[in-house]
Each structure stands twice: as C-alpha cells, then as structure tokens.
Structure 1
Amino acid sequence: MTKNQTVVITGSSSGIGLDLARAFVHRGANVVLNGRDQTKLVQAAASLGVPGQVAYVAGDIGSRETGDTLVRTAVDRFGGVDMLVNNAGDFAPKAFVDVSEEELDGYLRGNLKGTFLVTQSVVRQMKSQGRGGSIINIGTVLVDHAIAGFPASAPLVSKGGVHALTISLAAELAADNIRVNTVAPGVIRTPLHDRSEVDSFGGIALMKRIGEVAETTGAVLYLAGAEFTTGHVLRVDGGYVTGRA
C-alpha cells in the first residue's frame, strides 16, 4: 500500500476496522469507511483527523446497493479503488440446536453474502482500472479448530464460506493482478467480546494470552504489501491452531 492509494474497509466504525483505517491514513492512503450506524461512522471519520483522506458510506453490506455506493464514493472522492478489506461481520456463540433460522440467515447475509457482494462491486472497478489490486478478508481460525466451550456453528459456517471464497478468487483473479488473501484471527480484544470474560480465553493459545487489535492490523498491513502472496490464510492466533499448551 502506497501513499494516495484508496482502501475500502467494511465494518470500520470501531474495533479492527477502525484501527485499520487509522493505520492506512497514517501511511498516506485514502479510506472509505462503512458501517450500519451513520452516527458512529461520522464519529469514526472525525476521530481519524484527516477529512481530506476519509469518506464514509452507511449501509448494510448484505444489500448490493451498499457495495456499489462504496465503489462510487471511492471513485468520486479519490479516483478509484486499490484495496478492499472485508472486515464487517457478526460473531457470537450459541448452541447448535438453539440457533434460529432467522439467526442463521443473518450470519449468512452479513458475513458471507455481504462479503461476496461488496467484493463483486470492487472487483468490477479494479478490472476496469486495469492496475490490479488487493482484497483482504477477515476470517477466523475457528474454521480450522473449533472450541468445545464456545459453540458457534452459524457464524463459522458463514466464515468458512469466506475462506473458500478467498481461495477461489485468488485463482480466478490472478490474471488481473488482483490478490486475494484472508487474515484469520483467534480471540482478539474487540467490542464483539465481553470485556470481563475475554481474557479467560488466553490459555488456549501457546502464547497464553488473547490478541490485540493492533496485531490484526499488522497482519493486514503485511498482506497489503506482500506483492507475491495470494490465496493465503494468515493466522493471527498466538499459536492456537499450531498447538495448545
């Protein structure tokens, strides 16, 4: 990622997404923020302190119109799209037999369909620009190794689809010089987790702690600059998948 390039980041009004936006603008990039809450987006954009490098689009990524509007905003404000970070999504534990059809539909829409549709909009623009690009999805290591005490079948099914989409698109889009990778976090200290309980998961990782948002940001920044890397799932999990202490 170089100065004056443009990054679209979904789910960027807080947590991992907002930290990513802060890191990219610090490096001179333009960012287009996205979230469902207009008020939070306005506050997030203001917190970055560089209005000339920031735009935002409020909307549900499960609607095709949101992806199209994100791209149109990036083109109108900054001249194009160079990178997409598909960060938006929901994740919460619930016993398999208790998951309602409505909850399952919500995860599939927000985590998988939304990622799919926004990526379609961005890839069309990247192809028309003819200069390649980078797509980085946020998945989860729990796709590979679940936690018995943290049942999350519905969000994991949707995130598993995101991992599969990564591999498929890496192959399909390589000829266009569009790289597609995934960062797969373990347990990270974000608003998705209860503050009073999240550190209790530290013992499952070899490094005996949970991850911090900045560590996920570091992984995304690495993939953003890894010009010969595509189709890769980069774990940021403190060694959880490799082995448990």
Structure 2
Amino acid sequence: MKNKTVIITGASTGIGKEIAKYFITRESNVVMNSSNEENLKKAYIEFGSPSNVLYLAGDISKQETGQKLVTLALKKFKSVDILINNAGVFAPKPFLDVEEKDLDLYWSVNLKGTYFTSQSVIPQMIKQQHGSIINIGTVLVEHAIDGFPATAPLTSKGAIHSLTRQLAAEFGKNNIKVNTIAPGIIRSPLQGKIGIEDADSLARLHLLNRIGEATEIAEAAYYLATANFVTGETINIAGGHTIGHSI
C-alpha cells in the first residue's frame, strides 16, 4: 500500500480515525473526510501533520463532497486506489417511535453517503482498471437483537450490504473490488453517544467474551485493500457475534 491513495470518510474519530492512522503509518497517501472540521483538523495535527495526508471537511450525503475528495486526491496524489466508506450514524430507537426525520437522517448519511462517494470514485478506478471500495455495515443486519431496536439505521446498513454485492458484480470486469466489513461491538466514541456507559458490559454478545478494538477493524480494512481476489463479500469482524453468544 505504499504510495497508494486512500480516501476515508468519517476519519476524524473512532474507527475511521484508527483506519486512517493504520494506513498513514504504512506510507499510504490518505485523504481524510469528516463533517466535523474541528475534529478533522485535530486528528490531522495529532498524526503529526504528515505530508502524505490531506483532509477535507464536508457532508458526504451531498454529491459534491465525494467529487471534491476525488479532485483533491488526484491533484495531490494522482490516483484514487481505495475508498473506505466509514462515515455513518447509528442509534437505537423502538420501531413504533421512529419518525420520518429519523429515516431521512440514516438514509441520507449512511446510504446516500456511501452511494454518492462510491459514484464519485468509480470513474477514476475504471480509468485505472483497478480499485477497492470498502463499506462499513454491521453484524446486526443479519443478527437482530430484541433489546437493541434499531430498525431505522439497520435498514440503511442493510441497503449498504446489498449495494456492495451489486457494485462488485457491475464493476468486477474493471478489476474494482467491493466488500463490506460488518463490525460487532467495537470500542469507540459511538458507544457513549448511544448511551452505553460501559461497552465492555456487552462482551458476552461475542463468543470471544470481549468487545473489539478499532485497530482490528483497521486491520481488516487493510487486508481488503490489498486482497486481489476478494469481492462482493461481507466480512464479520465480530468475535463470533453472528455464530452464537457467550452466556
């Protein structure tokens, strides 16, 4: 991955930030995106303001943001090799309490963000005749939990899982690989945002009896970025969450 160009959305905190760090330390060129410019700049400075990194704040649910990211990457680094669609929002809410504004939020940020940003990078990947798109889904798409009602975000994530397979089929002939990472419970700021004070209390949802670390998602993203014969797959990084539970 040295000198390969990677665009990462939602890269200012949590999993996205850890993914950015992982690729930066392996000498990839990284374009970081987030809707929060302050957090984005803070992360960039924390990384040491490296010369192989650019950042651009913007709402990925807007088509122009993806186009700006591609323009920036090509101007500085001359290629777009990897896109990691990490940006997203997620929170539990009972089905009967969901309002139209909730659906609009999740479908705009999660699905439209992934859709439009992928739409922005694929023309360049076709020109190059290579590329890799890595989407972030969730194990909850295939493994529902009664005590964690989240139909609104899950329908948008389920759509991302489906989009992955169709894009893999449509652009396989162009040597563009498209895959999804479906995380289990991962230690990140998201847990606090959705009201989980002790993320480790959810360890028993996983057969390994622990929650995951953001670095483990970064490792999976790096594997998929370098894998030349893997496409259309959803890879669960979830400690056995979808297989059974430790009770």
TM surpasses 0.5: yes
Show the 5 A alignment for 1:37-116.
37-116=36-115
Q: Aligned equivalents of 1:172 and 1:78: distance in 2?
A: 27
- Give deviations 1:217-236, integer Å, cap 9, x for gaps: 11111111111100111101
Q: Tell me which residue corresponds to 1:243.
A: 244
DSSP 3-state at the match of 1:136: strand
Q: Tell me which residue corresponds to 2:33.
A: 34
Q: Aligned equivalents of 1:57 and 1:40: distance in 2?
A: 11
Q: Aligned equivalents of 1:213 and 1:12: distance in 2?
A: 12
Q: Aligned equivalents of 1:80 and 1:225: distance in 2?
A: 16
TM-fit CA distance, 1:50: 4.5
Show the 5 A alignment for 1:148-187.
148-187=146-185
TM-fit CA distance, 1:24: 0.5
Q: Aligned equivalents of 2:126 and 2:222: distance in 1?
A: 23
Unaligned runs of 5+ residues in structure 2 are: none
Q: Aligned equivalents of 2:78 and 2:129: distance in 1?
A: 13
Q: Are 2:141 and 1:143 aligned? A: yes
Q: Aligned equivalents of 1:93 and 1:29: distance in 2?
A: 35
Give the TM-score normalised by the residue count of structure 1.
Answer: 0.97
Q: Aligned equivalents of 1:87 and 1:108: distance in 2?
A: 14
Amino acid at match of 1:201: L
Query: Structure 1 runs of 4+ off > 4 angstroms?
Result: none
Aligned length: 243
What percent of counterpart residues are identical? 51
Q: Tell me which residue corresponds to 1:17.
A: 16
Q: Aligned equivalents of 2:95 and 2:178: distance in 1?
A: 31
- Give deviations 1:44-95, integer Å, cap 9, x for gaps: 1111225311111111100000000000010011111000000000011110
Q: Aligned equivalents of 1:17 and 1:204: distance in 2?
A: 23
TM-fit CA distance, 1:26: 0.7
Q: Aligned equivalents of 2:92 and 2:201: distance in 1?
A: 15
- Give deviations 1:175-204, integer Å, cap 9, x for gaps: 000000011001111111026232221111
Query: How has the CA–CA distance of structure 1 residues 29 and 23 changed in structure 2, closer, same or farther, with 3 Å as cutoff?
Result: same
Q: Tell me which residue corresponds to 2:213.
A: 212
TM-fit CA distance, 1:30: 0.5
Q: Which moved further from structure 2: 6-15 or 51-60?
A: 51-60
Q: Aligned equivalents of 2:44 and 2:73: distance in 1?
A: 15
Q: Tell me which residue corresponds to 1:198.
A: 199
TM-fit CA distance, 1:209: 1.2
DSSP 3-state at the match of 2:190: coil
Aligned-residue RMSD, C-alpha: 1.0
DSSP 3-state at the match of 1:168: helix
DSSP 3-state at the match of 1:239: coil
